[in-house]
Amino acid sequence: MSPSATGTTGGADDRTEILTVGGELDIVTAASLAQAGRGAIGHHPRLLLLDLAGVSFCDACGLTALVRIANQADASGCRYGLIAPRPPVTKLLRITGLYQRLPVFATIEQARQHLLAPAGTPHSP
C-alpha cells in the first residue's frame, strides 16, 4: 500500500501547512513523502505538521524522509512536528533516538500551541 499525503493550510494568521499521511512509509513511498514535504515548505509556512495517524508501517527509508523534511524545514526557518504517530512508529522513533530530533504531539492543536508560542512562553507538558 502506498502512502497518501494530502495538504491543508491553517489560518492565514498562523501560516500552518498540514500534511496528512496514510498507508505504509517505506522504500517504495518515502521519496513521494519527501517531495510532498518539500512542496509544502515551498509555500513558506511558519509551521509544517505531518499528521501520521494513518501511517500503518514505517521503515528506515520512511524515517529518512521525515528527517529530510525536518532538515529542509530548519533550513527555511519553518517549525515542524509529527502528529499522532501510531505505537509502532512511535517505538521506532524512540529506538532510533529520532524522538528527540522530531517533535511529536498528540494533536494538531497541541502542536500549534507549543510550536507557535512566542519565545520565552512556558509550555505545559
- How sure is the predictor about 2, in pLDDT bands with cuts at 50, 70 and 90? very low
- How sure is the predictor about 120, in pLDDT bands with cuts at 50, 70 and 90? low
Asked if 45 contacts 11 with a C-beta cutoff of 8 angstroms, the reply is no
- Looking at domain 4-115, its CATH superfamily turns out to be STAS domain (3.30.750.24)
Question: pTM for this structure?
Answer: 0.86
Mean pLDDT of 92-107: 96
Asked whether the predicted pLDDT for residue 1 surpasses 50, the reply is no
pLDDT attached to residue 32: 96
- How sure is the predictor about 57, in pLDDT bands with cuts at 50, 70 and 90? very high
Asked if 50 contacts 93 with a C-beta cutoff of 8 angstroms, the reply is no
The domain limits of the chain are 4-115
In this structure, the strands spanning 47-58 and 79-83 are parallel
What distance separates the 2 farthest-apart alpha carbons in the chain? Answer: 43
Per the prediction, the chain carries an average pLDDT of 89
Nearest to 50 by CA among 12, 97, 13, 103: 103
Encode pLDDT of 67-94 as tens digits.
Answer: 999 999 999 999 999 999 999 999 999 9
Asked whether the predicted pLDDT for residue 5 surpasses 70, the reply is no
